[in-house]
Amino acid sequence: MAEENEGIRQMVRLVDRTIPGARMLQLALCDLKGVGFNMAHAICHVLKIDEKTKIGMLSDEDLQRIEEAVKNPLKYNIPRWMLNRRKDYETGEDMHIHSAELTFNVDNDIKRMKKIKCYKGIRHAMGQPVRGQKTKAHFRKGSSLGVSKKKAVSGKK
């Protein structure tokens, strides 16, 4: 095992994220915000890199290619339906966003829905489930959850 870890870098920096070098490539790509299992598989397939390779074993050129593929998957002929931001509200373009930009865009989408008072925006504002889930058992937060001890003890007199 000591011989196996000899040529592996301990930590690898990839798309503003530090990843342990002992992780398999596909799982390491899934650690990046905005890259899921299918996108990670597609990137490995397009770049012809084995998914089970430890990320610490890759050369700097391979890491550069992986980072470029994550940032611009259309350049590497990854299908449009795999992108996470299709038909953007402002530009109408299909694009793939990652890291802090993804969080920023999701927050802006929710704010826009609240502002125009669409159904999903109203549900977000009320803290209710947005995608049609039942509310009887789940999503109960705050005062409606459980029984407080003071009320239970004072009721016994």
C-alpha 139/C-alpha 137 separation (Å) is 7
Q: Is the pLDDT of residue 119 over 80?
A: yes
Name the residue with higher pLDDT: 6 or 47.
47
Q: Is the pLDDT of residue 133 over 90?
A: no
Q: What is the pLDDT of residue 1?
A: 45
C-alpha 23/C-alpha 10 separation (Å) is 10
Query: Letter for the amino acid at 107?
Result: D
Q: What is the pLDDT of residue 151?
A: 58
Indicate the domain borders of the chain: 11-82, 99-139
Strands (E), 7-101: 11-13, 18-20
pTM of the model: 0.76
Over residues 52-92, the pLDDT tens digits come to 999 999 999 999 999 999 999 999 999 999 999 899 888 99
Query: Letter for the amino acid at 1?
Result: M
Q: Is the pLDDT of residue 123 over 80?
A: yes
Q: What is the pLDDT of residue 4?
A: 57
Q: Which CATH topology does 99-139 take? A: 30s ribosomal protein s13; domain 2 (4.10.910)
Same fold, 11-82 and 99-139: no
CATH architecture of 11-82: Orthogonal Bundle (1.10)
Q: Is the pLDDT of residue 101 over 70?
A: yes
Name the residue with higher pLDDT: 51 or 149.
51
Q: What is the pLDDT of residue 144?
A: 56
Q: What is the pLDDT of residue 148?
A: 63
Mean pLDDT, the chain, whole residue set: 87
Q: Give how far the C-alpha of residue 75 lies from the chain's centroid of Cα atoms, to the nearest Å.
A: 21
Q: What is the pLDDT of residue 8?
A: 84
Nearest to 96 by CA among 85, 104, 107: 85
